[in-house]
Structure 1
């Protein structure tokens, strides 16, 4: 998501940070590059012009050109303007469900935008928020649309209201609201019919539903990968049914992101959710400030924390913590941690939320490492081990490694890499649990420095310098060093 734009902007601000003091010419050159980056990301031309002019007007002020760190100041201005372009930090980006129940949410859009799947995702999201949703199958035109919604509802254990084929969609929606009152549902989600293009018949139908049902929210579901076409569709629907918000789907497949950056500025309609995957939990609330931070390579730590809270089993986490405090951590614990990480979503999308990931993503080895599903290979390797090997990885010698490689469809080299990574992770976790050693000292320094995010991020303190892994540890010499080398050789011999 926004991969191309993020890389371009990262390069522009890296160039600015190398200058001790900015001149007006430097700012103009940077703004030309920003303009090209936004146009390549398929952002609306009028929006790009307005954005660049606002940033330039602020950036050439005396407080920037004469400041101690002008590059950071320019980045701060771009960050603020991006937030404004995406809709600001007001409540207009949240659903309005403050009316008497049941509150009705009406979904409209073209065919192929993922409207039915989004209806199920939205119902799942609202249920987690404490609502009692009812899905309504009001698409009487697309073959199997009703069956698809019923299947999704069954998977999620969410009730679906449907009537036989041929029923009038307007009447279906009216009856569904009455049914929701009887069943004490708090939210009704109407999955209305889509079309291959915007036509008069379709508009008259959704206008009639809007008049009869009086929905609290009218949300357009649009495919983000269509770029500026999504903006045009939003404008047409907004004129017809007065949209209250939008849900952009397939954002995980859109490396440019022009639709998300343009829609609010062109139509005035706020984006309320982003579809970021195919699973029924792959729907994120839209936060302009968080998305702006992600675009500029600052990460999105708040969303990462929220995902972790949803995915990580607290009981398992407490058990793992207790085992660590006792100095115990084996491959079964490692496997549990990997599975919890998988529940948070694709590894790349998780890493994109970490500050500074853009720089790492530019490395060719990082692309190679994230290709496919790396966690799946780790899981296959660990599951090919015996319970004894998982609990005591030190017994895994050469013959065992060859057997594990055959069982998991991997190579002995991959087994060696995993065991090396596991041993390093175990050593780090033991240091953190004990409060001793370089990793524990680094964590204390990180905490005392307020998180120590990179100095290039606007408004953030400089990161602490990383201590050397042997800093503060007395170096072993003489007899102690020989004894340590002998011990290491014995371990390697045992593994072989």
Structure 2
């Protein structure tokens, strides 16, 4: 996501390198290139023009300090304006019910935009991060197997699903679900609706009627960011009818140019509240405009990286692990646990790109998310005793492990050597810093030094 835009913007700023001051001529040349970069990223033309006009006005109105180069100043102005373009600050989700009733979230959008999957992601996030007790409601009564799909999603995230397979009246289903939520003490109701086109009057009337009937705390519009500028146009049409509260951008991990993320806030004047960054149920992020601006300009997003780590690393488990490390008792069971936690944090390349300066270095590298499979195969081929006592794994055991895992003896030897080096390093790091992030950093170090299969 945004890789091409980031490259183009970086090239644009190079126009100012070597310049002693900002002038109308060099600013105009730079912003002409910036405008082209935004248009290539599928940003709305009016939005791109307004954006560059604002940047130009601010750039020419500022005095360049001797300690700040013109190109650096331009990056700062573009960064701030990008953040403002995308909403300025994160928008909160209203999840507190009215007068003892559960909070109601109504999902809307086109078919195939990812509403059902995102409903599950949102339910999981509210359950784990906000300690809510959500209920998913199946109000897509048209698409074959839609109810079953939501049930599978609900089972995956551990959230109950309310459905009435023989009822086609979505208002009745939703109202019955709300009563069910009250009786079962569910404090958030997430209503998954059928995908519809803005030109389908009957379907649009149905969701308008549903919204009036349930009076939701939040009406969210889910849009596939892969559709680019069409996503913005569709959002405007839906907003004119539904007056929704916020936008959800899905598939931001795909080969998207990012224009929807940059344009949609201006066109519909509604905030982007969440983004979907992968297929896993953990792949949901609150949308922070400033952090997104950081990533677009290649500055990384270390805050989001830390937050993802904190969500996955249990404090009690971290303390137990620290004690084992101090006693040099870190074993392959612990190692496997660390791998599973890192995998839950998301796409490896996406995580690495959050580290300032790293994204640019790895953009052309093919980092396979299945790279853990060879390591897991080797560890799973060990006996429980071997995993708990790595020191007993002698040459004959290594040959057996290699044969059992379908890898080479050299792969097993390399992993054993690196595991021992990592164990020593972790003990040293823990002695310096006993925080949870020490374990995360050490685990990430392991990932970087793993053998390739």
TM range (shorter): 0.7 to 0.9
Paired residues of 1:124 and 1:156 also in contact (CA < 8 A):
yes
CA gap of 1:392–1:260, structure 2 versus 1, over 3 A, is same
CA gap of 1:198–1:417, structure 2 versus 1, over 3 A, is farther
TM-score in terms of structure 2 length: 0.86
The answer to whether the aligner puts 1:71 opposite 2:68 as a matched pair is: no
What's the CA shift for 1:166? 4.2
1:388-403 → structure 2 map (5 Å cutoff): 390=387, 401-403=398-400
Q: Distance in 1 between matches of 2:33 and 2:413?
A: 45
CA gap of 1:174–1:330, structure 2 versus 1, over 3 A, is closer
SS in 2 for 1:251: coil
Paired residues of 1:21 and 1:66 also in contact (CA < 8 A):
no
Q: Distance in 2 between matches of 1:54 and 1:168?
A: 49
What's the CA shift for 1:171? 2.2
1:420-439 → structure 2 map (5 Å cutoff): 420-435=417-432
Paired residues of 1:113 and 1:221 also in contact (CA < 8 A):
yes
CA gap of 1:5–1:400, structure 2 versus 1, over 3 A, is farther
Residue-by-residue CA offset, 1:236-285 (whole Å, 9 max, x unaligned):
11011111111111111144211111100111121111112222232211
5+ residue gaps, structure 2, are 439-453
What's the CA shift for 1:234? 0.5
Residue-by-residue CA offset, 1:98-149 (whole Å, 9 max, x unaligned):
4413222111111111111222222222222122222211111111112222
The answer to whether the aligner puts 1:270 opposite 2:267 as a matched pair is: no
Greater mean alpha carbon deviation, residues 396-405 or residues 271-280: 396-405
CA gap of 1:403–1:133, structure 2 versus 1, over 3 A, is same
SS in 2 for 1:190: strand
1:115-264 → structure 2 map (5 Å cutoff): 115-128=115-128, 129-195=130-196, 198-264=199-265
Q: Distance in 2 between matches of 1:413 and 1:267?
A: 58
Q: Distance in 1 between matches of 2:419 and 2:11?
A: 35
Paired residues of 1:132 and 1:185 also in contact (CA < 8 A):
yes
The aligned counterpart of 2:450 is: none
The answer to whether the aligner puts 1:375 opposite 2:372 as a matched pair is: yes
Residue-by-residue CA offset, 1:147-189 (whole Å, 9 max, x unaligned):
2222322333322222233431122223322333333322221
What's the CA shift for 1:196? 5.5
Q: Distance in 1 between matches of 2:310 and 2:32?
A: 41
SS in 2 for 1:274: strand
The aligned counterpart of 2:35 is: 35
SS in 1 for 2:63: helix
What's the CA shift for 1:412? 4.3
Q: Distance in 2 between matches of 1:434 and 1:116?
A: 46
Q: Distance in 1 between matches of 2:376 and 2:153?
A: 28
The aligned counterpart of 1:95 is: 93
The aligned counterpart of 2:448 is: none
Greater mean alpha carbon deviation, residues 178-187 or residues 243-252: 178-187
CA gap of 1:389–1:63, structure 2 versus 1, over 3 A, is farther
Paired residues of 1:23 and 1:65 also in contact (CA < 8 A):
no
The aligned counterpart of 2:441 is: none
CA gap of 1:21–1:239, structure 2 versus 1, over 3 A, is same
Greater mean alpha carbon deviation, residues 177-186 or residues 131-140: 177-186
Higher CA-based Rg? 1
CA gap of 1:385–1:212, structure 2 versus 1, over 3 A, is closer
CA gap of 1:70–1:357, structure 2 versus 1, over 3 A, is same
5+ residue gaps, structure 1, are 448-496
Q: Distance in 2 between matches of 1:158 and 1:373?
A: 28
Q: Distance in 2 between matches of 1:304 and 1:265?
A: 28
Q: Distance in 2 between matches of 1:294 and 1:35?
A: 18
CA gap of 1:30–1:162, structure 2 versus 1, over 3 A, is same
Paired residues of 2:282 and 2:345 also in contact (CA < 8 A):
no
Greater mean alpha carbon deviation, residues 97-106 or residues 284-293: 97-106
The aligned counterpart of 1:484 is: none
Q: Distance in 1 between matches of 2:183 and 2:321?
A: 46
Q: Distance in 1 between matches of 2:375 and 2:16?
A: 39
SS in 1 for 2:222: strand
The answer to whether the aligner puts 1:56 opposite 2:56 as a matched pair is: yes
What's the CA shift for 1:401? 4.9
SS in 1 for 2:142: coil
Greater mean alpha carbon deviation, residues 156-165 or residues 420-429: 420-429
Q: What RMSD over aligned residues (CA atoms) do the two structures have, in Å?
A: 2.7
CA gap of 1:72–1:411, structure 2 versus 1, over 3 A, is farther
Paired residues of 2:96 and 2:102 also in contact (CA < 8 A):
no
Paired residues of 2:58 and 2:77 also in contact (CA < 8 A):
yes
Q: Distance in 1 between matches of 2:57 and 2:412?
A: 57
SS in 2 for 1:252: coil
Q: Distance in 1 between matches of 2:374 and 2:104?
A: 45
SS in 2 for 1:373: helix
